[in-house]
Amino acid sequence: MARQASNENDRARTVLAQEAARIIVEQGIEDYRVAKIKAAERLGMTARGSLPGNPEIEHAVSEHLKLFGRESHLDLLRVLRRAALSAMELLAPFTPRLVGPVLHGTAAANSAVNLHVFSDSAELVAVRLQESSVQYRPYDRRLKSRRDRAETFSGFQFTQDNSSIEATVFPLNGMRQAPISPVNGKPMRRADSQAVLKLLRGEEP
């Protein structure tokens, strides 16, 4: 009986992860917790039970994208990664790094290109955008710098090659320690322009 209950629980987690992935892709929801609760409500399951973890959701998103439009998704990734390279060239003085869904291959049509840039003055990044005649919108983003500590970082949202770019500014010494990923609780993976070029060529960076 215990094994049967365990199998049923595993199946429920899988179904819920798949529904959460569909919601993330179709509705552009970035918060996995919100997507999980919506999926549980839609399936008539309790959100208080054993919900799938964020790595399970990310895997389900990847599988959903492969299943529903593999070629179109690969085309989308190429478009977003080219836009990332263009934005990284624009922000080259600030040692940009690509992070998030565009890097991991789980980006959907409404995903932004997420960059980390490095400067002890966020205003210098704004000046660079202004000098390049790029219209931008400032934002603040709260990220975990350690498991028990969160910090607020300034950033700039703008459009490059018809793609939405979000460049979050870290201090120069922030290059040594990436913030904690909300997906797996590990330091975020970052990629420089050479690694992004390799992805575009179909190579593993």
> Which domain, by its residues, includes 16?
2-67
In a domain, residue 22? The reply is yes
Q: Are residues 79 and 178 in the same domain?
A: yes
Query: How many other CB atoms sit within 10 Å of the CB of residue 9?
Result: 12
Distance, CA of 61 to CA of 74 (rounded, Å) = 14
- The ranges of the chain with pLDDT < 50 are 1-2, 4-5
Q: Which helix (H) or strand (E) holds 145?
A: strand 136-146
**Which pLDDT score, from 0 to 100, does residue 27 have?**
77
Domain end among 51, 67, 83: 67
- For tokens 């966020």, name the residue: 122
φ, ψ of residue 58 in degrees (nearest 5): -60, -40
**Which pLDDT score, from 0 to 100, does residue 5 have?**
46
**Which pLDDT score, from 0 to 100, does residue 2 have?**
45
Measured CA distances, 126 to 24, 166, 175 (Å): 31, 13, 19
- For tokens 């080219």, name the residue: 82
Number of domains in the chain: 2
pTM: 0.79
**Which pLDDT score, from 0 to 100, does residue 1 have?**
47
**Which pLDDT score, from 0 to 100, does residue 203 have?**
62
Q: Are residues 104 and 171 in the same domain?
A: yes
